């Protein structure tokens, strides 16, 4: 009778392991995805900080003037613009 009890116990343990197997696999996959998303979030936070700094810099008149001169070729009144042709 003890053998049947031991066999029943082992079968019961194996049955529960079989039941929770997929939950364990899902849990591991979720942990991997969480780690990947945290890394991505950190990267996006760094990018956001850089963009905020750039936006703060663009709020200054000197930065706007610099961009207008470089990208649009604008000059101030009474200035002479020269274009160098290579």
Quick: pLDDT tens for 15-60.
888 889 888 899 999 999 999 999 999 999 999 999 999 999 989 8
Instruction: Give the Cα separation of 50 and 67 in Å (integer).
Output: 18
Residue with more model confidence, 36 or 76: 36
Phi, psi of 77 (to 5 degrees): -60, 140
- The pair of structure tokens assigned to 77 is 């009144």
Q: What is the largest CA-CA distance in the chain?
A: 109
- Whether residue 1 is predicted with pLDDT greater than 80 in this model: the reply is no
- Whether residue 9 is predicted with pLDDT greater than 90 in this model: the reply is yes
pTM of the model: 0.56
Note whether 1 and 9 are within 8 A (CB).
no
């Amino acid at each position: 009778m003890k053998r049947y009890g031991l066999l029943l116990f082992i079968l019961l343990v194996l049955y529960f392991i079989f039941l929770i197997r997929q939950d364990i696999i899902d849990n591991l996959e979720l942990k991997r995805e969480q780690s990947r998303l945290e890394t991505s979030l950190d990267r996006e936070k760094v990018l956001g900080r850089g963009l905020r700094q750039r936006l703060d810099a663009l709020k200054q008149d000197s930065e706007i003037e610099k961009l207008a001169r470089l990208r649009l070729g604008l000059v101030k009144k009474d200035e002479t613009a020269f274009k160098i042709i290579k």
